[in-house]
Amino acid sequence: MELGLDWVSGILLPLILGALMGSAGGAVIAYLVVRRLVREPIIGYTLGAGRRASRRGRRYIVFEVLGVEPVKFEELRDAIMGTVRRVYGELGEARLRVKLIEYDEVRRRGILRVRREFKLHALAVLGLTRDFNGRRLLLIPISTTGSLKRARALVRS
């Protein structure tokens, strides 16, 4: 990983200037920049790990739909994605990678896939999804699991 001039101007320079001037501001800025570079997610895979260990984790949220009228898969998907866009915007939608995997219209249970680090954001989306096209909906999370097989078993039970 080559840092080049960005590293010098973004980290080293504020650190040196902050130390020379006796100001904590430059050191704080340098620290925040370093933390951002360390925590910045690398798209796809992390460096130095094996293929299996480097894949990003997913969580599957099993939820139940409460409401008077029956809801179709497409309507539920549009309601959830509309709530994601309304709350987090298009950039948040891309970061969360929320996807409705399955929905059983008879049992009224569904599976929502989300990136592991945004599980709480997805649970908030389920709680904020209240209506769609004039229909009242209430999405109740039942369980969260790391495996799709376990999530499907929860939907069938």
Question: For 106-157, how does the pLDDT look when each residue is reduced to its tens digit (9 = 90+)?
Answer: 999 999 999 999 999 999 999 999 888 888 889 999 999 999 999 999 999 8
**DSSP H/E element including 100:** strand 99-104
Lowest mean pLDDT among 46-50, 62-66, 85-89, 151-155: 46-50
Q: Which amino acid is at 114?
A: V
> Which contacts of 82-85 are long-range, i.e. CB under 8 A and separated by 24 or more positions?
82/132, 83/125, 83/128, 83/129, 84/125
**What pLDDT shows up at residue 135?**
84
What is the residue whose two structure tokens read 């097989």? Answer: 149
CA distance 92 to 87: 8
Which of 20-24, 25-29, 78-82 has the highest mean predicted lDDT (pLDDT)? Answer: 78-82
The pairing of strands 99-104 and 109-115 is: antiparallel
Q: How many CB atoms lie within 10 A of CB 4?
A: 7
Domain 57-156: which CATH number of 3.40.50.1820, 3.20.20.140, 3.30.70.3250, 3.40.50.300 = 3.30.70.3250
Give me the mean pLDDT over the 54-75 stretch: 87
Q: How many CB atoms lie within 10 A of CB 15?
A: 17
What's the pLDDT at 68? 86
Q: pTM for this structure?
A: 0.64
The reported pLDDT for the residue numbered 46 is 44
pLDDT cut 90: percent of the chain above it: 50
What is residue 102's predicted lDDT score, i.e. its pLDDT?
95
pLDDT at 45: 42
Give residue 67's pLDDT: 87
Q: Which pLDDT does position 143 carry in this prediction?
A: 95
Cα–Cα distance for residue pair 111/23, rounded to 1 Å: 52
Amino acid 16: pLDDT = 65
Residue 43 has pLDDT above 80, yes or no: no
* Structural tokens at position 86: 């309304």
pLDDT of residue 47: 44
Distance CA 140, CA 63 (A): 5
Phi-psi region of 39 (alpha: psi -120 to 50; beta: other; left: phi over 0): alpha
Longest C-alpha distance within the chain, in Å? 69
